[in-house]
């Protein structure tokens, strides 16, 4: 039996106020007269139980928002603990992408915008030993995208739609976009769908807000600062990436030291954070703050210094891994694959024979899907294979893979961690090959 509706379903604030009664409670605490099958078995999806037995409507896949009179779409999503913080456990899926009809839509009249303009977000704490009825609800809030975020999401949607329109849905990658992703939507990677304008089958995908964006929503107390002028520029239809390039353009052709002098940066070039501070100052962001748009989009910012022959002076490292955790990972949900699907922002300096760096260009870049699912996956699989064979000291070298390799990434040779066999081996990480980055920059 459905519950009555002790709220005004035409008023977003009334719906939110009713939802806020859930904060600090579990669904078991909040809902009376749950069916015995749910109470005893503890089975069912959190979102479905919330919709049917708390808000009193049947879960559905209609194109309009869940509360059509109020224009509010309900979304429940899990949190996890990360140290003392609560962070998003996963991206927030907004709706499936229809490869056969998306090309008939415009952003302003898109089904995604219609359903997601105003979201009621219910965040609950996921704990493995608790079923959906017993997971505590931590945050409830109405979320309307800030105008500057909506401009970026519009641009993301248009990039995704353009690939679908061109019959390239099979080439979609979450690295293509900033806030709005096209995530895969099938438990089995062998499941494929037809697409318009191409005979090539594509993985099912859905529009989703990236995990990094959800973390910005969750933790608004983060010290974030927008790129100077970004809000006004996006209002005027300037793409965020164009704005970023424009910020760097006046400094192209100048040395790093000349730029630092012009911007009043007092840190010496040899300091570890010199280039990071320089990048923030060019963008008009306080060096002590983090760049809001890059945080929300999970963009990896990297300074690339090219040797006179055009090859990057350094390979690009990712976070050090835990051997025991790594061998438990599956490629589709692995840390490495998630890292490679990010969008990258390269600030490129050319070194002369005296190693004086001159700013030459900036570039946003996404790794091609074929490289992620080909050589990078091979490196990942081979790494796990060797660790399982107790050969953690002999992981794939740069000469073995055209995209990436594994090598030490610790403080020093004494920075060791356990392997699954119980032995200790130096801390390592995956690295993108400098030669691979050069080929991408040259293409």
At 388, the pLDDT band (50, 70, 90 cuts) reads very high
Among 18-22, 75-79, 192-196, 423-427, the range scoring the smallest mean pLDDT is 18-22
Mean pLDDT of 388-396: 96
Looking at the domain assignment, is residue 365 inside a domain? Answer: yes
Q: Dihedral angle at the C-alpha atoms of 294, 295, 298, 300, nearest 10 degrees?
A: 60
Q: Is the pLDDT of residue 442 over 90?
A: yes
* Maximal CA-CA distance, the chain: 78
Mean pLDDT of 146-163: 94
Predicted TM-score of the model (pTM): 0.71
Q: What is the pLDDT of residues 218-248, one digit of tens each?
A: 866 345 667 877 767 776 777 889 999 999 9
Q: Is the pLDDT of residue 161 over 80?
A: yes
Q: Give me the helix-helix angle, 274-283 and 240-248, nearest 10°.
A: 110
Mean pLDDT of 316-339: 93
User: Looking at per-residue confidence, does 27 or 189 come out higher?
Assistant: 27
Based on the fold, state whether residues 298 and 156 are members of the same structural domain.
no
On whether the CB atoms of residues 201 and 192 are closer than 8 A, the answer is: yes
Looking at the domain assignment, is residue 5 inside a domain? Answer: no
On whether the CB atoms of residues 383 and 396 are closer than 8 A, the answer is: yes
Based on the fold, state whether residues 140 and 263 are members of the same structural domain.
no
Looking at the domain assignment, is residue 1 inside a domain? Answer: no
Q: Is the pLDDT of residue 79 over 80?
A: yes
Based on the fold, state whether residues 266 and 298 are members of the same structural domain.
yes
Q: Is the pLDDT of residue 311 over 50?
A: yes
E-state strands within 52-204: 73-82, 85-88, 92-96, 118-125, 137-144, 180-184, 193-195, 198-202
Q: What is the pLDDT of residues 44-57, one digit of tens each?
A: 689 999 999 999 98
Position 39 scores a pLDDT of 65
At 3, the pLDDT band (50, 70, 90 cuts) reads very low
Based on the fold, state whether residues 180 and 315 are members of the same structural domain.
no
Based on the fold, state whether residues 320 and 242 are members of the same structural domain.
yes
Looking at the domain assignment, is residue 438 inside a domain? Answer: yes
At 148, the pLDDT band (50, 70, 90 cuts) reads confident
Looking at the domain assignment, is residue 7 inside a domain? Answer: no
Among 268-272, 327-331, 351-355, the range scoring the smallest mean pLDDT is 268-272
Position 288 scores a pLDDT of 78
CA distance 174 to 205: 10
Residue carrying the six token digits 């809030």 = 141
Position 303 scores a pLDDT of 96
Based on the fold, state whether residues 68 and 32 are members of the same structural domain.
yes
CA distance 206 to 279: 33
Q: Which of 185, 218, 251 is the last residue of a domain?
A: 218
Q: Any idea what DSSP says for residue 67?
A: B
Based on the fold, state whether residues 283 and 423 are members of the same structural domain.
yes
Q: Which domain covers residue 400, as residue numbers?
A: 224-442
Q: Is the pLDDT of residue 338 over 80?
A: yes
Q: Which of 167, 193, 218 is the last residue of a domain?
A: 218
Provide the mean pLDDT of the chain.
90
Q: Is the pLDDT of residue 43 over 70?
A: no
Q: What is the pLDDT of residues 259-281, one digit of tens each?
A: 999 998 888 888 989 999 999 99
Looking at the domain assignment, is residue 232 inside a domain? Answer: yes
Q: What is the pLDDT of residues 168-189, one digit of tens each?
A: 999 999 999 999 999 998 767 7
Q: Which of 218, 233, 263 is the last residue of a domain?
A: 218
Looking at the domain assignment, is residue 343 inside a domain? Answer: yes
Sequential DSSP letters for 202-247: E--EEEEE-HHHHHHHH-TTS-EEPPTTHHHHHHTT--HHHHHHHH
Number of domains the chain contains: 2
Based on the fold, state whether residues 202 and 260 are members of the same structural domain.
no
Based on the fold, state whether residues 177 and 262 are members of the same structural domain.
no
Based on the fold, state whether residues 55 and 197 are members of the same structural domain.
yes
CATH of the domain at 347: 3.40.600.10
Position 224 scores a pLDDT of 62
Based on the fold, state whether residues 202 and 271 are members of the same structural domain.
no
Q: What is the pLDDT of residues 93-121, one digit of tens each?
A: 999 999 999 999 999 999 999 999 999 99
On whether the CB atoms of residues 177 and 203 are closer than 8 A, the answer is: no
Based on the fold, state whether residues 353 and 408 are members of the same structural domain.
yes
Instruction: Report which secondary-structure segment, H or E, holds 326.
Output: helix 323-326
Looking at the domain assignment, is residue 374 inside a domain? Answer: yes
């Amino acid at each position: 039996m459905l519950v009555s509706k002790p709220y005004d379903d035409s008023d977003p604030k009334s719906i939110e106020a009713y939802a806020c009664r859930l904060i600090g409670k579990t669904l078991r605490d909040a809902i009376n007269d749950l069916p015995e099958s749910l109470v005893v078995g503890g089975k069912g999806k959190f979102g479905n139980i919330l919709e049917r037995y708390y808000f009193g409507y049947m879960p559905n896949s209609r194109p309009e928002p869940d509360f059509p009179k109020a224009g509010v779409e309900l979304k429940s999503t899990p949190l996890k603990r990360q140290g003392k913080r609560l962070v998003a456990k996963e991206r927030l899926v907004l709706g499936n992408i229809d490869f056969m009809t998306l090309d008939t839509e415009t952003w302003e009249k898109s089904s995604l915008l219609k359903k997601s303009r105003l979201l009621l977000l219910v965040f609950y704490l996921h704990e493995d030993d608790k079923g959906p009825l017993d997971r505590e609800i931590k945050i409830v809030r109405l979320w309307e995208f800030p105008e500057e975020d909506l401009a970026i999401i519009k641009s993301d949607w248009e990039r995704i739609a353009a690939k679908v329109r061109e019959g390239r849905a099979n080439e979609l990658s979450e690295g293509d976009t900033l806030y709005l992703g096209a995530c895969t939507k099938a438990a089995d990677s062998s499941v494929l769908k037809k697409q318009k304008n191409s005979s090539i089958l594509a993985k099912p995908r859905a529009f989703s807000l990236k995990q990094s964006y959800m973390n910005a929503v969750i933790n608004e107390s983060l010290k974030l600062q927008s790129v100077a002028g970004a809000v006004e520029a996006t209002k005027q239809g300037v793409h965020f990436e164009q704005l970023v390039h424009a910020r760097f353009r006046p400094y192209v052709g100048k040395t790093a030291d000349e730029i630092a002098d012009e911007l009043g940066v007092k840190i010496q070039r040899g300091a570890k954070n010199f280039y990071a501070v320089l990048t923030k100052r060019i963008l008009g962001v306080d060096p002590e703050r983090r760049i809001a748009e890059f945080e929300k989009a999970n963009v990896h910012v990297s300074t690339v210094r090219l040797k006179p022959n055009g090859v990057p002076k350094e390979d690009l490292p990712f976070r050090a891994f835990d051997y025991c955790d790594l061998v438990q990972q599956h490629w589709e949900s692995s840390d490495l694959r998630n890292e490679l699907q990010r969008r990258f922002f390269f600030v490129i300096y050319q070194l002369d024979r005296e190693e004086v760096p001159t700013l030459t260009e900036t570039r946003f870049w996404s790794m091609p899907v074929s490289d992620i699912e080909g050589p990078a996956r091979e490196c990942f699989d081979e790494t796990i294979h060797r660790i399982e064979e107790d050969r953690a000291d002999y992981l794939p070298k740069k000469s073995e893979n055209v995209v990436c390799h594994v090598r030490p990434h610790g403080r020093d040779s004494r920075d060791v961690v356990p392997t699954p066999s119980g032995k200790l081996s130096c801390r390592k990480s995956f690295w993108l090959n400098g030669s691979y980055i050069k080929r991408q920059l040259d293409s």
